[in-house]
Amino acid sequence: MTLNPADPAFEAALRADLSPDVFRKAEPRYLEEPRGLYRGQAAVLALPRTVDEVSRLIWHANAARVGVVPYGGGTGLVGGQVAETGPKPLILSLERMNKVRAVYPDENVLIAEAGVILSDVQDAAEARDRLFPLSLAAQGSARIGGNLATNAGGTGVLRYGNARDLCLGLEAVLPDGQIWHGLTRLRKNNTGYDLRNLLIGAEGTLGVITAAALKLYPRPAKTGTALLVVHSPAAALELLSLARDQLGEMISAFEIIHRTGLDFLAETLPDVRQPFATPPEWTVLIELGLSGGLDPTTSLEKLFETAFSADLVVDGLIAQSQQQSDDFWAIREMIPHANRKIGSISSHDISVPLGAIPDFIREAEQAIAGLGDFRINCFGHVGDGNLHYNVFPKPGRSREDHAAQQEIIKTTVHDIAHEMGGSVSAEHGIGRLKVKDLARYGEPAKLSAIRAIKAALDPNGIMNPGVILPAPA
Each residue's pLDDT, cut to its tens digit, for the chain (473 residues) gives 699 999 999 999 999 999 999 999 999 999 999 988 899 998 899 999 999 999 999 999 999 999 999 999 999 999 999 999 999 999 999 999 999 999 999 999 999 999 999 999 999 999 999 999 999 989 999 999 999 999 999 899 999 999 999 999 999 999 999 999 999 999 999 999 999 999 999 999 999 999 999 999 999 999 999 999 999 999 999 999 999 999 988 999 999 999 999 999 999 999 999 999 899 999 999 999 998 778 999 999 999 999 999 999 999 999 999 999 999 999 999 999 999 999 999 999 999 999 999 999 999 999 999 999 999 999 999 999 999 999 999 999 999 999 999 999 999 999 999 999 999 999 999 999 999 999 999 999 999 999 999 999 999 999 999 999 998 76
Contacts of 39 (CB under 8 A, 6+ apart): 31, 32, 82, 84
Spatial separation of the C-alpha atoms in residues 162 and 148, rounded to whole Å: 9
Note the pTM of the prediction, 2 decimals.
0.94
Between the alpha carbon of residue 364 and those of residues 156, 371, 402, 470, the distances in Å are 26, 11, 18, 29
Answer yes or no: are the C-beta atoms of 255 and 285 closer than 8 Å.
Answer: yes
Between the alpha carbon of residue 44 and those of residues 70, 132, 397, 403, the distances in Å are 12, 34, 40, 34
Q: Which of 118, 109, 113 shows the shortest CA–CA distance to 100?
A: 113
Spatial separation of the C-alpha atoms in residues 130 and 337, rounded to whole Å: 30
Answer yes or no: are the C-beta atoms of 88 and 78 closer than 8 Å.
Answer: no
Sheet holding 90-93, edge to edge: 23-24, 44-46, 90-93, 68-71
| Sign, CA torsion 430/431/433/436 | positive
What's the confidence (pLDDT) of residue 472?
Answer: 79
Neighbours of 376 (CB within 10 A): 17
The DSSP H or E segment spanning 24 is strand 23-24
Neighbours of 342 (CB within 10 A): 19
What's the confidence (pLDDT) of residue 293?
Answer: 79
Helix ranges, 128-178 (H): 144-149, 157-160
What's the confidence (pLDDT) of residue 292?
Answer: 75
Length of the chain: 473
Q: Which of 157, 126, 327, 318 shows the shortest CA–CA distance to 252?
A: 157
Answer yes or no: are the C-beta atoms of 121 and 144 closer than 8 Å.
Answer: yes
Answer yes or no: are the C-beta atoms of 254 and 382 closer than 8 Å.
Answer: yes
Spatial separation of the C-alpha atoms in residues 184 and 212, rounded to whole Å: 9
What's the confidence (pLDDT) of residue 42?
Answer: 82
Amino acid symbol at 121: V
What's the confidence (pLDDT) of residue 35?
Answer: 87
Answer yes or no: are the C-beta atoms of 422 and 440 closer than 8 Å.
Answer: no
Tell me the CA end-to-end span of the chain in Å, nearest whole number.
Answer: 7
Spatial separation of the C-alpha atoms in residues 213 and 196, rounded to whole Å: 11
Helix ranges, 213-321 (H): 233-247, 259-268, 296-309
Q: Which of 257, 404, 398, 423 shows the shortest CA–CA distance to 348?
A: 423
Spatial separation of the C-alpha atoms in residues 201 and 242, rounded to whole Å: 33
What's the confidence (pLDDT) of residue 224?
Answer: 96
Q: Which of 393, 346, 377 shows the shortest CA–CA distance to 266?
A: 377
Spatial separation of the C-alpha atoms in residues 47 and 18, rounded to whole Å: 11
Q: Which of 133, 71, 76 shows the shortest CA–CA distance to 425?
A: 76
Spatial separation of the C-alpha atoms in residues 411 and 367, rounded to whole Å: 11
Q: Set out the domains of the chain in order of their start, with CATH numbers.
A: 8-95 (3.30.43.10), 100-218 (3.30.465.10), 221-342 (3.30.70.2190), 343-427 (3.30.70.2740)
Would you give the DSSP letter of residue 43?
A: -
Between the alpha carbon of residue 256 and those of residues 50, 89, 166, the distances in Å are 42, 41, 24
